[in-house]
Structure 1
Amino acid sequence: MNLTERAYGLAESLLSGPLPRRWSHSLGVAERARSLQPILGDDAALMEAAAVLHDIGYSPAIASTGFHPLDGARFLRDQEGVDERVVRLVAHHSCALLEAEERGLREELAGEFELERPDLVDALLFCDMTTTPDGEPTTSDARLAEIVGRYGADTIVGRFIQRATPEIQAAVHRVEGRLGPVRRIS
């Protein structure tokens, strides 16, 4: 079984039953990742695997700290022995260090998991932040507004996402720039 097949099976087993909407989102993020193949080259399969696995830390079966990037990455590393680059992408997806800071977990996250290459971090951030909770394509502006609306501006997630907005938007623009004007994804 190759990396992506294993990733889909694992994500489905952890998310589809208890969190069907999160599973739909993960499938949509993985579809976005496949669309980036022209700029990812040899890292396309790695990105697709990270995309479908990025939110497994929400699964009640593995959640321990309540911070899904850390819980997911620890599970993938410690229980599943998944490729370390996938683990690092899951650990640091979508500006996770900023949210970890809000939760008092920044040192744990940074100490346990190195950052992956910036272009791959940007690509996963792009995929996550241009996909709705239901797995449909969206703009980063709409996605950011949806997150703040769902969680509330004064919650940990709301504060984090507002702090992360400039970096999220910059990453989305960097990926769109790499795709070129004809291939922009709306």
Structure 2
Amino acid sequence: MSGDHALATVPPPAGGLATHPGGDLVAAAERLARELLEDLHPRWEHTRAVAARAAAGAGAVAPQDRPVLVAAAWLHDVGYAPDLRAVGFHPLDGADHLRGAGWPRLLASLVAHHSGARFAAQVRGLTGALSAHDDPRALAGAIADALTWADQTVSADGEVVDVEERLADVLRRHGPDSPNARCHHLRGPYVRGAVRRTQDRLRRAGAVPAPASAPDGERPPR
């Protein structure tokens, strides 16, 4: 479906997080992700599993922050949708679309900065553009860490993996001369730290996340 159709049929919750129950935000995020990504495989399988992982690990963040964490997990990769492609850097393309469509600023900022995107943006010469989405809570802290944890412990096709396996797969798929490879000396430690901090928060909260899986018992195609 086109981005225009998605925008028309899945408006953001009016008034943002302050006036809308978290369930409305998460449901709207899931619908928009489905509109934009359902036909992209295995991107859609990855997205669904990351959202499930974020929901399972939501105990790592404060209760009031759990809806925005899960919504950001649903939307973190919408910038891959062909209709949203502008600069060709999916965190920025996704965040620009969400801000332009009136989604909450923190949500767009989390999408912009998920999984250490700022390090790849620097290599690509996009630091200035990405900085339009700077928000302290999207750059550091429990929500930013938990979103990175959810994304970086789920493989490209939706399976739960160790963070080292995930990092190695990114380098393997993108190649040794890619922006991801060129910033790995900075991004890798950031990702590992976010995963470690989230796991520590989950242990302290007594919350053991369930394995990520596709909703409704479906398995992603292999």
State the SS of the aligned residue for 1:71: helix
Structure 1 position 57, deviation (Å): 0.4
State the SS of the aligned residue for 1:180: helix
Q: How does 1:93-132 map to 2 (within 5 A)?
A: 93-110=114-131, 112-117=132-137, 118-132=141-155
Q: TM-score, normalised by structure 1?
A: 0.92
Q: How does 1:83-102 map to 2 (within 5 A)?
A: 83-102=104-123
The residue aligned with 2:170 is: 147
Q: TM-score, normalised by structure 2?
A: 0.78
Q: Which amino acid aligns with 1:58?
A: Y
Given the alignment, which residue of 28, 50, 56 partners 1:35?
Answer: 56
Q: Distance in 2 between matches of 1:37 and 1:163?
A: 26
- Of 156-165 and 172-181, more deviation after overlay is shown by 156-165
Q: Distance in 1 between matches of 2:107 and 2:156?
A: 22
The residue aligned with 2:193 is: 170
Q: Distance in 2 between matches of 1:92 and 1:115?
A: 9
Q: Distance in 1 between matches of 2:102 and 2:136?
A: 17
State the SS of the aligned residue for 1:93: helix
Cα distance per residue 1:103-158 (max 9 Å; x no partner): 00001111x11234221111111111000111111110000011001111221122
The residue aligned with 2:20 is: none
Cα distance per residue 1:79-99 (max 9 Å; x no partner): x21111111100111111111
State the structure with more CA Rg: 2
Matched, 1:24 2:45: yes
State the SS of the aligned residue for 2:191: helix
Does 1 or 2 have the higher relative contact order (CA < 8 Å, sep 6+)?
Answer: 2
Q: Distance in 2 between matches of 1:100 and 1:56?
A: 17
Are 1:70 and 1:109, in contact at CA under 8 Å, matched by a contact in 2?
yes
Alpha carbons of structure 1 residues 55 and 161: separation in structure 2 relative to 1, 3 Å: farther
Q: Distance in 2 between matches of 1:104 and 1:76?
A: 22
Are 1:88 and 1:116, in contact at CA under 8 Å, matched by a contact in 2?
no
Structure 2: runs of 5 or more not aligned: 1-12, 14-23, 212-222
Q: Distance in 1 between matches of 2:60 and 2:124?
A: 34
The residue aligned with 2:35 is: 13
Alpha carbons of structure 1 residues 162 and 147: separation in structure 2 relative to 1, 3 Å: farther
Over the matched positions of the two proteins, sequence identity in percent amounts to 38
Are 2:60 and 2:142, in contact at CA under 8 Å, matched by a contact in 1?
no
Given the alignment, which residue of 76, 90, 105 partners 1:54?
Answer: 76
Q: Distance in 1 between matches of 2:207 and 2:160?
A: 14
